[in-house]
């Protein structure tokens, strides 16, 4: 039929070729197998597309990107295709994250004489801490050089700074509602911005743990910012990343330390437990070795738990976790140890092998979990969510080199842990 259309002059040769190629692709895509038409590439293509650095170094964000969708990972990390940045008159969540990270690092580190020294805020006058935090925030804003000049930006700043220090020292002391400074006669503490709420939360915390490291490379050394994660086959994976904060006791062996990952977006610890997100377990592993090395203690004497620290401007903060209670019954539970030392390295190894072997098929997560509605590559993606369970079954039957997060499977994660029983998710 196609050739008849060409002979009749209704199609050009190039149009006919594209039509045949499209039909062949559709036929292969309708079959539940992994082929060239499903993003299954040969290793020579992978090596041509990905730089050595992209293959040799993994980060929690890269691992998460691949776990969500191999095709999107290839488009973004392999081909380097990004959607144009949105033009906005006010800061977005990335700007908020940058300001918060920079501010809190400056605030805490200025209270230390050396990195790793625990900072107990109760040793300081609260009003002095307010001034320190205000100064850190203004310095961070100046360093980041955010190029906004609008009433929206003024209001945004007030959502961060309202209530800190005094009206004389803080132009945004009580401007969180209107974005404009109030008359002096109307000054009050009714407006409490994010940083004041954060300070109140931290100051009232009676934990024995205190912040000690901030924006720390996973290798605990700016000259060596990576660490080597041992993998099940005896090799290692080079992991990069920055730990937002680590809290410890004065005696690091007396209580489990805790890593915190600041989050300005939505967080869900189940995604970590079920193999989609990797920050917390990898940072806990890295912090265990880093604390041990820095304090001259054996790694076996150091235990590290992990939390998300939700950043909600201007409403304040909330901690989600600890991770150990989502996996077991606390940091001493063998299930938590197995999650960190066995399951997480196995997952990283599976992703590393899948990338190196060219497995870049579209997501096998559900459309909401994969974020397909907001994906930059949705117009060129042929994901078929209705076939995903058949595809997962095919991957398992063929023992294909591919990664399927446990969140995609009808399987309990405790079945992945060797010789331990995880606790049920009740009221968590």
Q: How far apart are CA 347 and CA 276, in angstroms?
A: 10
Query: Over the stretch 130-175, which tens digit does the pLDDT of each residue have?
Result: 999 999 999 999 998 887 777 777 888 888 999 999 989 998 887 5
Q: How far apart are CA 286 and CA 237, in angstroms?
A: 12
pLDDT at 345: 96
287 pLDDT more than 90: yes
Question: Who contacts 338 (Cβ-Cβ below 8 Å, separation ≥6)?
Answer: 417, 418, 419, 420
pLDDT at 31: 72
Supply the mean pLDDT for the chain.
86
Q: How far apart are CA 96 and CA 94, in angstroms?
A: 5
pLDDT at 190: 54
Give the start-to-end residue ranges of the domains of the chain.
1-30, 34-87+208-428, 93-203
How open is the CA angle 416-419-424, to the nearest 5 degrees?
A: 65
pLDDT at 428: 31
pLDDT at 312: 83
| Partners of 40 in beta bridges | 359
| Mean pLDDT in residue range 416-420 | 62
Q: Contact at 8 Å (CB) between 359 and 40?
A: yes
Q: How far apart are CA 68 and CA 364, in angstroms?
A: 8
Q: Looking at the domain that runs over 34-87+208-428, which CATH code has it been given?
A: 3.90.320
The residue length of the chain stands at 428
* Strand 227-230, strand 236-239: pairing: antiparallel
Q: Higher-confidence residue: 23 or 72?
A: 72
Query: Over the stretch 56-83, which tens digit does the pLDDT of each residue have?
Result: 899 999 999 999 999 999 999 999 998 7
Q: How is residue 148 written in tokens?
A: 């906004």
303 pLDDT more than 50: yes
Q: How far apart are CA 131 and CA 25, in angstroms?
A: 63
Query: Over the stretch 220-262, which tens digit does the pLDDT of each residue have?
Result: 988 889 999 999 999 999 999 999 999 999 999 999 999 999 9
Which among 96, 92, 124 has a CA at the least distance from the CA of 110?
Answer: 124
Which among 220, 223, 202 has a CA at the least distance from the CA of 116?
Answer: 220
């Amino acid at each position: 039929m196609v050739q008849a259309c060409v002979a009749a002059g209704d199609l050009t040769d190039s149009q006919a070729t594209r039509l045949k190629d499209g039909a062949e692709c559709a036929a292969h895509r309708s079959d539940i197998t992994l082929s060239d038409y499903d993003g299954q590439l040969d290793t020579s293509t992978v090596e041509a597309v990905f730089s050595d650095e992209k293959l040799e170094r993994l980060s929690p964000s890269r691992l998460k990107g691949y776990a969500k969708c191999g095709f999107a990972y290839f488009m973004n990390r392999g081909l380097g295709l990004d959607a144009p940045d949105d033009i906005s008159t006010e800061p977005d969540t990335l700007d908020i994250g940058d300001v918060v990270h920079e501010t809190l690092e400056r605030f805490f580190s200025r209270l230390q004489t050396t990195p790793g020294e625990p900072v107990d805020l109760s040793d300081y006058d609260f009003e002095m801490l307010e001034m320190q935090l205000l100064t850190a925030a203004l310095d961070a804003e100046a360093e980041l050089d955010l190029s906004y000049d609008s009433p929206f930006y003024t209001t945004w700043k007030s959502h961060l700074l309202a209530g800190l220090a005094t009206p004389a020292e803080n132009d945004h002391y009580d401007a969180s509602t209107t974005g404009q400074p109030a008359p002096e006669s109307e000054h009050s503490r009714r407006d409490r911005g994010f940083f004041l709420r954060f300070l109140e939360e931290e100051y009232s915390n009676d934990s024995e743990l205190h912040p000690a490291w901030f924006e720390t490379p996973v290798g605990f050394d700016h000259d060596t910012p990576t660490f080597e994660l041992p993998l099940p086959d005896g090799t290692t994976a080079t992991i990069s990343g920055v730990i937002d904060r680590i809290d410890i006791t004065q005696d690091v062996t007396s209580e489990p330390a805790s890593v915190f990952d600041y989050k300005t977006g939505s967080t869900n610890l189940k995604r970590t437990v079920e193999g989609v997100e990797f920050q917390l377990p990898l940072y806990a592993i890295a912090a265990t070795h880093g604390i041990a090395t820095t304090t001259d203690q054996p790694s076996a004497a150091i235990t590290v738990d992990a939390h998300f620290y939700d950043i909600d401007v201007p409403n304040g903060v909330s901690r989600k976790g600890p991770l150990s209670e989502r996996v077991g019954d606390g940091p001493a539970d063998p299930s938590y140890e197995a999650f960190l030392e066995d399951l997480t390295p196995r997952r990283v190894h599976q992703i590393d092998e899948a990338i190196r072997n060219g497995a870049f098929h579209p997501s096998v997560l559900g459309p909401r979990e994969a974020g397909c509605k907001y994906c930059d590559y949705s117009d060129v993606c042929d994901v078929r969510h209705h076939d995903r369970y058949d595809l997962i079954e095919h991957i398992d039957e063929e023992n294909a080199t591919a990664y399927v997060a446990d969140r995609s499977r009808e399987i309990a994660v405790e079945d992945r842990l060797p010789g331990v029983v995880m606790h049920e998710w009740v009221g968590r």
